[in-house]
Amino acid sequence: MTTIVGRTRHRNQPWYHPGIAECHAEVVMPDAARAGLGEFLRSRRERLSPAALGLPDRRRRRTPGLRREEVAELAGIGVDWYIRLEQGRTVSPSSETVEALASALRLDPAERAHLRELALNPARTPFTPERVPEATRRLVESLTEPAYITGRRWDLLAWNRAADDLFGDLAASPEADRNILVWLLLGERSRRLFGDGWAAQARHVVAQFRAAHDLWAGDPAFTELAARLQAGCPEFAAWWGRHDVGHSGPGRKTLYRPEPEDFDYATFQAAEDPALRLTIYAPTRGR
């Protein structure tokens, strides 16, 4: 048998997992971070179909998805301990437990990475706006293709004339509105520019913002932005409630100016500050 956090665990118990040390990490998670971790676990649990996982349905389910004890059994951890974790109580999982939970909840790579960050890197300093080095700003302004730099909160920090031509006069917007989410979700120009593809694009960006928002759970800079988006965009609340997370990557978008035109795009992290992300658009011109 093994003693873990003052409790005795026997190898013949069904939830015992010999490869997992279910001890508390030497990390004190802020209340908001624990709540964010618990909310993410609950959202992933509730979306799973027991039948799809081959689990028997022994009794009627009052809520969708798996039961907490089923997740605990699949992950090889104690039921009480998992309940405390999902409720946002004072427990911190080991890296082995995080990986076991990710497998039990059938997380995709983006969700798995998000769970790791939530659980294992909880300490965050208060958010402060990023600063773009002057040399980097000049480089962006010199590019002929549309380009802009954003920070962790998706604030627009630098852009060039081609980006103004594509997305509108960004400098004319109030500073509080110079944010990709505000532009995309609260403005009319973005809906015209993306046409029928607006909803898919907006939902994808919301999933990326959700991943960043959760890492700064409780920080006013993020919570106030989320509240503004919810108040101004009818679709946002439904997407936000799903708790989907995503990551950025290259791709292709069709923009209407007013005729449809395809653009390839890619995002790069700045070496001097990984919080800064450079996005560049290039028209395909029939490629």
Tens of pLDDT, residue by residue over 155-165, are: 999 999 999 99
| pTM greater than 0.85 (yes/no) | no
134-181 per-position pLDDT tens digit: 999 999 999 999 999 999 999 999 999 999 999 998 989 999 999 999
Across the range 115-129, mean pLDDT stands at 83
Token pair belonging to 31: 């209340």
Q: What is the pLDDT of residue 199?
A: 97
Ranges 32-41, 51-60, 61-70, 107-116, most confident:
107-116
Is residue 17 pLDDT above 70, yes or no?
Answer: no
Token pair belonging to 103: 């497998």
Across the range 186-208, mean pLDDT stands at 95
Residue scoring higher pLDDT (270 or 57): 270
pLDDT > 70: percent of the chain: 83
Contact 194, 148 (CB under 8 A): no
